[in-house]
Structure 1
Amino acid sequence: MRVTTVDRYAPEPGTFVHWTVRDDGTSIESPVPPSFNQLVHLVGAESGNTWLAAAFDVDGPLDRAALADAYRALIARHGTLRSSFVPTSTGPRRVLRPASVRLEEQPGTAHRSGAALRETLWRHCNDRCAPFAERAYLLAAIDRPDTATIVCAFDHAHVDAYSIAVVIEDLRLLYHGAEPETLPPVGDFVDYCAQPVEFRDDDPRVDGWREFFGDQGVVPPSFPLDLGLARGQSAPQAVELRRMLSAGETADFESWCRTNDSGLFAGLLTALAHGVRTAGGGDRTRLLFPMHTRNEPRWDTAIGWFTTNAPVAVDASGTITDSVRRTQFAVRTAIEIGAVPLADTLHALGGLNLQRSDIFMVSYIDYRRLPGARARNATHVSNTSTADDVQVWFSRSADGLALRVRYPATARARAVVLPFLNEVEQILHACAARGVLTTTGSSTAPAESV
C-alpha cells in the first residue's frame, strides 16, 4: 500500500468516469447518534473536506458494468455507506438510506495529462465527499486500454485508514466476479455506534489521562518546536513523503527493537523523540496515537471509523537503548489507558480545550497484515487542506517503511520539520544497522552509541 496525498498523486492519463448514486427507496432518521469521532468531524465541517480515497489497478480496458455491480454490492455490504448526516439546531443527526441504489454512469472525460486528470479527480472528490452529502462518497475509475484504475473516495465520517484497505480488497474481489455472499461476514458500523458505552468516573484509566494532561487543563499535545504560527493561526498544508527504510532495513530495525524487548512502533516513537531532543524540543515528547477498536470478529472487515486515541509521553533522556525500553512500557500503558471511552473521559476531566485545530499525533499501520495487500498498485490518497500542527503517519508494506507528514507550510516550520525528519531517518538507519549486527551476532558494540 502506498500512502500519499492528492496533490502528490500522479495517475497516468486516461478517461475519468464516475457514477451518481440514486436512492431506490425512502430514507429514515436514525436514533443512533454520530460517534464521538464523527461528531467532532461534522462539527468542524466548515473548515474544509477531509476525505480518504482508495485506488488500485486492474487490467484494461475497464469493465464498467462489472465495476458498477461491484460498487452496488459494496454499498449493500457496508452500513455506513447507507447512512448520511444532516445538520440540525441540536447538532448533526444520522439518516439511514436504502440499501438498493441505482448507479447512473456519467459521461467520461478523456485527459492527455496526468496533472489535469488529478485536478479533475480532486475536484470531484471535494464535491462528492462533502460531510453532509446524501451519499458522501465518489465512485469512479480511470479507463485506459491496457491498465485501468479503480478509485473511490469517502468522507472521513465513514472510513478510517484500515477501511481503505478493506474497500480495496472488497472491490478487487467483487470486480473480478466474486459473489457478495462469498465475502467474509461483516458487521454494520451503525450497529457499532449504537452499542452502549460502559464508563465509570473512578476508572483508574481516567487518572492516566489526567496525569497525561497535567495541571494545564485538557489541552491536546502540540509539536514541541516552533512552527511559526501564533495561537489561532493556520497555514496551507505542506506534505513530506519519504521512504525511510527498505524492506530489509525495516526487518533489521525491528530486530534491534526486539533485542531491546520492544516493538517496532515503540522504536519509531523513540526515534521521533530523540529527533525532537536533538532539535531542542526537550527530553519528553507528548503525543497521541490512534488505535483501532475492532475488538470483535464482525468488525474485522467492516468499513467505518473504528479508532480511538491513546496518550503517551516518550522519555528521550539517556541512551536510545534505555529510551526504547521505557517507550515500550509507556506504549503498553497507553493502550490500556486509551481503551477507556474517550468522550466520557474528556467530559469527566472538564471538557476538551482545543488550542489548535490539529493535534500532534503519530500513527503506524502495517499494511502487510491488512486486507488489500494483493491488489495491484494499491494506494491510499488523502486530501490536503490547512494545518497548524505536525501529524505523522508511518506505514509498513512489502516495500519497507514509509512516512507521510503534514505540517503548516511556513518558512519556520520547513526550517524545523525537515531537519528533524532527517535526524529521525538517520536514527532509524543507525538502529537498523545495529539490528543487522545483532542478528548476525558479529558485534558487541552497544546500541546506545546511536
Structure 2
Amino acid sequence: MLQVSVEDVEFAPGHIFEWQMVSAKRSLSEKPAQQLQTTTYNQAKHFAVAQGARSANDMISAYVAGTFEIPGVLDRSALESALLYFVRRHEVLRCTFQQLAGDLSCDILEPDDVKLELIDRGSADSAAELRAFLHEFFQKVDTLSWPLILMGAVIRDESTTVYFACDHLVTDGLSTPIAVNDIATAYAAFSRGHQPVLPEAGSYLTFSREQRRRSGSMGVEDSRLDHWKAFMARGGAFFPPFPLDLGVEPGCMYPTVNDAGMLLAADEVEALEARCRAADGRLFMGLLAAVGVSLRKEGGPDVYRGVMPVSERGRGSYAHTMGWFINTMPIEFSVAEGKSFAEIMGNVRAAFDEMQRHADVPFVKAWHLLAPVEYTTIRYWPYAVNFFSYLDFRKSPGSRNHAVWKAREHIWASRSNGICFWFHRNDAGLYMNSIFVDTPQARHTKAALGRTLTRTLETMARSGTF
C-alpha cells in the first residue's frame, strides 16, 4: 500500500458510480436512549471540535480515503454485495452519533437495517477530471452527518477503481488496508458464487467501553500521568513545538501542501534495518533517530521532543476491525552532536520503552487534565506540533495482494498551522507523505529537511553512522 495524495495518482477515466449507505428504518433515532453506547475519548473530542467549528463557521475539510483496482470485466452485482458485506461487518460504520448530557454517545444500526442505493455519477473523460471528482467527493464526508463512509467505483471495460472515504470518527490509518482487504476479498468470493471467509472483526464499541472503564476515574493526581508531567516539565509545554521555522503567524491556519516521495528503495531499507537490529533496535527506531538528527542538523535542538501515534489494536480480533484505535504519546531523547549511532539508537529504544509503559493513558484525557486551561477547549493544536508516524503496510491484512490491487491510502486536510509526516513502508521501499502549511518558508524548510533526512538515512544504511 502506498500513502499518497489522490491528486497525484494517474487514474484511467471511466464511468462513475456511488453506492450510498442508507437506513432501512423509518428513522435513525428509533431506539430508546438507554440503549445508546459509549464512544472513545478520540471520538468525543473529534465530534466536539466539529460542532464548535460549525458553530464558528470555521470548518476544516479532512478525510481518510482508499482506492484499489479490480482487473478485468467487473461483476457489478458482486461488488455491490461486497460493499454491503463490508459495512454490515463493521459496527462502527453503522453507528449514528449524538451529543447528549455533555458527552458523545452512539447508536448501532443492526446489519439488516442498512442497505445500499446506487447513484450514477456519469463519466469522467480524463484522468485529471477523475482526480478532481474523487478529491471533491471525498470531502463530502462530514463528522456531523451520517453515513460516515462514502463508497463507489469507476468502471471501465478492462478494469475498475474502487474508492471509499471515511471520517476520522470511524477510521484510522490502519483501517484503510483493512477496508481494502475486506472489500477485495469479499468481491472475489461473491464473483465466484461463494460467501466471504475473513477473520473475526472485533467490536469497536467493546473497545470504547474498555477504554472508558480503565480511564474514567483518572484525575490530575493519578500516577499514570507522571510520564506526561515529566515530559511537560522538561520541555515546557504539553504540545511539543515543531522546532524549525515554517513562516506561520500564531493562531493562523493556512492552506496545505500534500506531497509524497520515496526515501529509500527496498534493498536500502533492508540494509538500514540490519543496522538497526545490530544496535538492538528496530527500523522505526532508526527512522525516528534519523528524523531527530536531521532536525538538529537543520538548526533544531539537541533533544528530540515530539508526539507519535501508537496503535491500540494489539494482536487479537481488533487487528481486523475498522475504528480509531490510535493513542498519541510523547517521546523525547538526545540526538546531541558527537553521539554514535549505537548511542542514539539506545536513547530512542529507552525512550520508546518508557513511553510504552504509560501508553494506556488516553491522549485526550491527558490533554484535558494537564494542558493549560486555554488549551483544553481549542479546536486545533495551538501551533505547529512535532509529530512522527510510521506504518509498515507489509504487516497489514491483505498486504501480499497490495501490489496487484494497487492499494493506496489518501489522507488530506484543507488547512493547517504546521507540518505532519507519515512514514510508511511497503515492499518497494520507505516513503514519506507530508502535509504542511503552504507558505514560502514552509516549502523551503520541508524541502531542506527532506534532503537532509534522505542523506542521513542513506549514510545510516551504508555505514551505520549519521
SS in 2 for 1:225: coil
Contact preservation (8 Å) 1:62, 1:148: yes
Whole-Å Cα distance in 1 between the matches of residues 91 and 187 of structure 2? Answer: 20
Whole-Å Cα distance in 1 between the matches of residues 222 and 317 of structure 2? Answer: 27
Contact preservation (8 Å) 2:241, 2:386: yes
Structure 2: 5+ residue runs without aligned partners? 54-58
Q: What is the identity, as a one-letter code, of the residue corresponding to 2:367?
A: L
Equivalence for 2:206: 191
2:118 to 85, 92, 105: 105
Matched, 1:114 2:127: yes
1:340 to 361, 367, 370: 361
SS in 1 for 2:430: strand
Q: What is the identity, as a one-letter code, of the residue corresponding to 1:198?
A: R
Equivalence for 2:56: none
Structure 1 pair 358/281, CA: closer, same or farther in 2 (3 Å)?
Answer: closer
Structure 1 pair 88/38, CA: closer, same or farther in 2 (3 Å)?
Answer: same
2:339 to 310, 319, 323: 319
1:422 to 451, 455, 459: 451
Contact preservation (8 Å) 1:205, 1:336: no
Contact preservation (8 Å) 2:238, 2:371: no
TM-score, structure 1 as length reference: 0.91
Shift of 1:212: 0.9
Shift of 1:180: 5.4
Shift of 1:344: 3.5
Shift of 1:181: 6.2
Structure 1 pair 278/246, CA: closer, same or farther in 2 (3 Å)?
Answer: same
Matched, 1:58 2:70: yes
Equivalence for 2:430: 401
Whole-Å Cα distance in 2 between the matches of residues 89 and 236 of structure 1? Answer: 35
Superposed CA offset, 1:253-306 (max 9, x none)? 111111222111111111111111111111112111111111361211011001
RMSD: 2.2
Contact preservation (8 Å) 2:4, 2:259: no
Shift of 1:356: 2.0
Q: What is the identity, as a one-letter code, of the residue corresponding to 1:13?
A: P
Whole-Å Cα distance in 2 between the matches of residues 357 and 67 of structure 1? Answer: 44
Contact preservation (8 Å) 2:242, 2:384: no
Equivalence for 2:249: 230
Q: What is the identity, as a one-letter code, of the residue corresponding to 1:58?
A: I
SS in 1 for 2:358: helix
Q: What is the identity, as a one-letter code, of the residue corresponding to 1:107?
A: D
Equivalence for 2:409: 380
Contact preservation (8 Å) 1:206, 1:345: yes
Whole-Å Cα distance in 1 between the matches of residues 121 and 368 of structure 2? Answer: 49
Equivalence for 1:148: 160
Equivalence for 2:12: 12
Structure 1: 5+ residue runs without aligned partners? 435-446
Structure 1 pair 259/57, CA: closer, same or farther in 2 (3 Å)?
Answer: same
Shift of 1:242: 1.3
Equivalence for 1:72: 84
Structure 1 pair 231/216, CA: closer, same or farther in 2 (3 Å)?
Answer: farther
Contact preservation (8 Å) 2:254, 2:416: yes
Q: What is the identity, as a one-letter code, of the residue corresponding to 2:49?
A: G
Whole-Å Cα distance in 2 between the matches of residues 343 and 118 of structure 1? Answer: 35
Equivalence for 1:2: 2
Whole-Å Cα distance in 2 between the matches of residues 433 and 217 of structure 1? Answer: 37
Shift of 1:49: 2.8
Superposed CA offset, 1:30-75 (max 9, x none)? 5324311112222222332322112111123322211111111111
Structure 1 pair 217/275, CA: closer, same or farther in 2 (3 Å)?
Answer: closer
Matched, 1:95 2:110: no
Whole-Å Cα distance in 2 between the matches of residues 190 and 150 of structure 1? Answer: 27
Matched, 1:211 2:230: yes
Out of 86-95 and 205-214, give the one that drifted further. 86-95
Matched, 1:274 2:300: no
Shift of 1:418: 1.0
